[in-house]
Amino acid sequence: MNSFEDSVKILRQTSESKAQLDILRNGQVLLQVFRATDVKAWETKVDCEQDDELFIALFFHAAKLSNSENFDRFLKSELIELFQKVNLGIDTFLLSTKIYFTNGEVLNVITKVLQSVYQLSPGEQLEFRVNSY
């Protein structure tokens, strides 16, 4: 199983288009990380400053476990200032436009999201998967 750092490195270096990093708890995707080059192809208004920028996507689908509570915590958190609401004509999700930092800085923001929104406990196991969509 890849670590977060290894997974971000794979995501940044892959030549595969439409790559994403899924972060899962108990088999359920909590959030996803995308590259700016792929996000630009979504034909939506998203500000991309650099092609090597990473975007953190939070999806609040009604079918996901405890998602209305997660969404409420997100709306009440300071993290909402980092995110931009984007609508792709399907479920609405929120997407960071300021995550073009080092891997460590990306990990810090993701850790804050996981603790604040998804109430991740210290030591709780997560799974990291790099996939193509």
Region label for 26, one of left (φ > 0), alpha (ψ between -120 and 50) or beta (otherwise): left
Q: What is the mean pLDDT of residues 56-85?
A: 83
Which residues on adjacent β-strands are paired with residue 58? 94
pLDDT digits (tens, 9 = 90+) for 14-45: 988 899 999 999 888 899 999 888 888 877 77
Better pLDDT: 89 or 66:
66
Dihedral over alpha carbons 18, 91, 77, 51 (to 10 degrees): 20
The predicted pLDDT at position 127 comes to: 95
On the question of pLDDT at 95 being above 70, the answer is: no
89 phi, psi to nearest 5 deg = 85, 0
| Domain definitions of the chain by residue range | 4-123+126-130
